[in-house]
């Protein structure tokens, strides 16, 4: 992406951590991925908005956040 992030832009940063081979397989839904060798992988994301003061993470966990329990 070229250019600058302008105020009001909302974007999602997605990270995939994989153990073993870094080759991924994209599933038919074109959204899900897995490692080609079947090793453990984890994905997480944050949604960010660009403001006058910089960037604000909208999905940041706070002391008031509801805990996530499996």
Residue 66 in any domain: the answer is no
Residue 35 has pLDDT above 90, yes or no: no
Percent of the chain with pLDDT over 70: 94
pLDDT tens, residue by residue, 49-70: 999 999 999 988 888 877 766 5
- If one counts the domains in the chain, the total is 1
Residue 26 in any domain: the answer is yes
Domain range for 43: 10-57
Residue 5 in any domain: the answer is no
Residue 68 in any domain: the answer is no
Q: Is the whole model's pTM more than 0.75, yes or no?
A: no
Percent of the chain with pLDDT over 90: 36
End-to-end CA distance of the chain, in Å? 36
What is the Cα–Cα distance from 5 to 56, expressed in whole angstroms?
Answer: 13
Residue 64 in any domain: the answer is no
Q: What is the pLDDT of residue 1?
A: 57
Q: What is the pLDDT of residue 53?
A: 93
Residue 62 in any domain: the answer is no
């Amino acid at each position: 992406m070229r250019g600058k992030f302008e105020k009001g832009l909302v974007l999602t940063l997605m990270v995939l951590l994989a153990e073993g081979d870094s080759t991924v397989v994209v599933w038919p839904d074109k959204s899900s991925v897995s490692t080609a060798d079947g090793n453990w992988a984890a994905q997480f994301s944050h949604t960010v908005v660009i403001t006058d003061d910089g960037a604000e993470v909208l999905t940041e966990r706070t002391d008031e956040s509801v805990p996530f329990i499996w």
